[in-house]
Structure 1
């Protein structure tokens, strides 16, 4: 086990409720599952054993593994991890929307995949027509399986797509506070309001995750609180929490040197859970965000009373 991935993580002040879910984590194992040649960075190892140790540290029972960009369309590492973790885990894959066969998706479903990811942020894709075409194609592919479509994009892109997302017949999960940037809150005020209205419509979920991607105010990132509170007030049944473990770096700081291993951020997820508890100020709200919403969204069994 890599102690560096858990040594800096504190236990939260109060243990999360049974069945709590971390809805966005990655695994990296370059020796067993080589990274794609066309990628923007090279991560270190963050294996299943490290993930289990991390979640035990913060008291989380369930996880959703998300395919990272360094593996492209090759979901082998993700599926291997799902097999090792069993019923405590679900997956979000990345697929070639134009070529994937329905039988491949059916096989992924049997292995625990419950969604696909459209990573518009990493690709720098901001074209509305292109994004809408991807969303519609994704809807057609995953709708019959009951999966969600996960979107990582800037809040301005989400706002432009809000009407289109609201019309989709599948759940749409918006990564990392729906792409808001706290230092741009004045210029993004209208876009964030559009996201709040979209969430109120019911088919869009937001991940309260990776505040360091939304804020520059380390270590507590307190300036994301107003966004979290607005979303909780709007639709607490459409929010989930995630750590974003093992906390990959920022695309803005990457040099393009793939021979250099990019270090993971030293982020304290225990502190992040304490922050969530301060936003979701009642046990009922915390139960909804950590347990009930992810169970419904990703198809986990109900937690026994």
Structure 2
């Protein structure tokens, strides 16, 4: 059925998101009985290519989003893409998202707090007073932890790493839960490409203001080499960042208010996450993490 729709270039819109009401009248005309396609519309229905291999667990929770343009400031709908429910319509596990955030914040953190022991403190080489006959407590050095200015017993020693590895499928679940939350909160947008017509940062500023993309934007593409125009345009904007799809993570998605994905990035993210969710050797990934396994 899907192949037939692609061959005939018909647009099937069973359920639209809230943003569909803002679509221009020359793209889709909706009636009460059926959805008719305008004869002048050339936007095809874009579906991920790996759906026959990984069928959704529940077709009733399918998600569809508009594909927006980025070559001009005014918003224009250029098509519709259907998102895989197992990636973009999962349960919003806030606890798993929090565990991923704590893991990403701690695994790269090294504490440099350092205290000296009684052997490292300067001075205190001789016995402060005789062992007996003075009526005082017996001591062997004024650098004992009992004395002011002495060493510290059981104090922090640098460098102290806080590295630990979160279970593999909690990391996968963190990505799917975060993507689903971003989509549910209308903070996820899909664009056709990252080619902008100019290197002027003002174009990106006006684009974000016109689209209401929020105070910070994360733009994700399939490749790690971005076009020259968008690289120069976003270089001077600290609140707009570029990232390849293989580096997408929970912390970066929540750090930015709006997540903008290209069509190629959506397909790549779905392909990788669906593979991990349906892999047959998952038991190997559930073992204890070892530092020498990579």
Whether these two folds match at TM > 0.5 is: no
Q: TM-score range by the shorter chain?
A: under 0.3
**Relative contact order: is structure 1 or structure 2 higher (C-alpha 8 Å, sep ≥ 6)?**
1
Q: TM-score, normalised by structure 1?
A: 0.27
Greater Rg, structure 1 or structure 2?
Answer: 2
Q: Hey, which of these two has a bigger chunk of helix by percent?
A: 1
